[in-house]
């Protein structure tokens, strides 16, 4: 996990210089830069730890970047702004994330407490009434999202309904895998490291947030599933995952299908964390 890697690196650079390692927060935030050309992830831990440690933030950020560059999973690390560190992972590290998403066992599903009432655009609604209006799975997804629900939207099979989008994309990726099997495309992760188009790398980055992104509060899981589903849907719309016409399968097709298999697996696991079964077909 990158957050653990970053935290360990900060502790080391402070400890090696005889500075207070207690300045490092117990949880280190690692986020995605808005500009994907800035690397895979960014962290502001140097800004948080510098003051208590008694060093300038940019100096600590430079120490951290140099330390991270010595790790085999890191391809690049650079300081930005007042003390942010942008980190780019190696292609092989991103490929490993896809492999883990496909092969790792699903985390145990937590016991979730559903609210008695759900906020809707027309006022609070008993959860049982939401189930009657939209179905059990859609109601569960909406109730755990911790947002105000539009019941009319939740009942429809439209792009505005986040529940429908998530289950539709899972079913769509399942169909893509079935079609790949018919065409002789094998979703092997051997060549995933070859995927270097910005859209491919971006989807790998999102998949790489598994399993951490689906083992927190339910609302966090919902937000992640929505983001992954939107991204996977757009990805399959913009890129030809399978060979067209009489074209023969190539290594790139195997790698692309493996990425889609990873996205599907993560969607299924995330829905499972919410107590919802992912449909193979709609």
Residues whose CB is less than 8 angstroms from the CB of residue 54 and which lie 6 or more positions away in sequence, other chains included: 19, 20
Q: What are phi and psi of 126, to 5 degrees?
A: -55, 140
* 76-103 tens-digit pLDDT: 999 999 999 999 999 889 889 899 898 8
pLDDT for res 109? 85
pLDDT in tens, 26-41: 989 898 887 777 888 9
**Whole-prediction pTM:** 0.88
pLDDT band, residue 107 (cuts 50/70/90): confident
Tokens read off for 20 = 């207070």
Is the model's pLDDT at 276 over the cut of 80? Answer: yes
The H or E element that residue 76 is part of is: strand 74-80
pLDDT band at residue 215 using 50, 70 and 90 as cut-offs: confident
Quickly state the pLDDT bin for 193 (edges 50, 70, 90).
confident
| H or E stretch at 198 | helix 198-207
Q: Give yes or no for residue 191 having a pLDDT over 90.
A: no
CA dihedral 192, 197, 203, 208 (to 10 degrees): 50
In whole angstroms, give the CA distance from residue 105 to residue 224: 19
What is the residue whose two structure tokens read 């947030």?
A: 209
Residue 181's CB is within 10 A of a number of other CB atoms, namely 12
């Amino acid at each position: 996990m990158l957050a653990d890697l970053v935290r360990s690196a900060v502790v080391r650079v402070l400890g090696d210089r005889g500075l207070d390692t207690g300045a490092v927060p117990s949880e280190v935030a690692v986020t995605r830069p808005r500009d994907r050309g800035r690397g895979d992830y960014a962290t502001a831990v140097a800004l948080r730890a510098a003051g208590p440690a008694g060093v300038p933030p940019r100096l600590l950020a430079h120490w951290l970047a140099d330390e991270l560059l010595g790790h085999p999973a890191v391809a690049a690390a650079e300081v930005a702004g007042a003390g942010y560190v942008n980190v780019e992972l190696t292609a092989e590290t991103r490929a490993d994330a896809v492999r883990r998403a496909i092969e790792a066992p699903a985390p145990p599903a937590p016991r979730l407490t559903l609210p008695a009432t759900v906020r809707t655009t027309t006022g609070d609604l008993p959860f049982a009434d939401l189930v009657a209006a939209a179905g059990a799975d859609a109601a569960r997804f909406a109730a755990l999202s911790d947002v105000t629900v539009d019941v009319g939207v939740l009942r429809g099979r439209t792009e505005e309904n986040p529940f429908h989008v998530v289950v539709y994309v899972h079913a769509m990726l399942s169909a893509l895998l079935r079609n790949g099997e018919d065409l002789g495309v094998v979703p092997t992760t051997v060549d995933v490291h070859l995927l270097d188009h910005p859209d491919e790398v971006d989807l790998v980055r999102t998949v790489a947030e598994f399993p951490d992104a689906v083992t927190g509060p339910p609302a966090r899981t919902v937000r992640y599933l929505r983001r992954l589903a939107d991204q996977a849907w757009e990805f399959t719309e913009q890129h030809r995952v399978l060979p067209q016409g009489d074209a023969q399968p190539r290594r790139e097709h195997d790698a692309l299908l493996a990425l889609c298999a990873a996205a599907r697996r993560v969607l299924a696991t995330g829905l499972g964390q919410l107590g919802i079964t992912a449909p193979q077909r709609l």
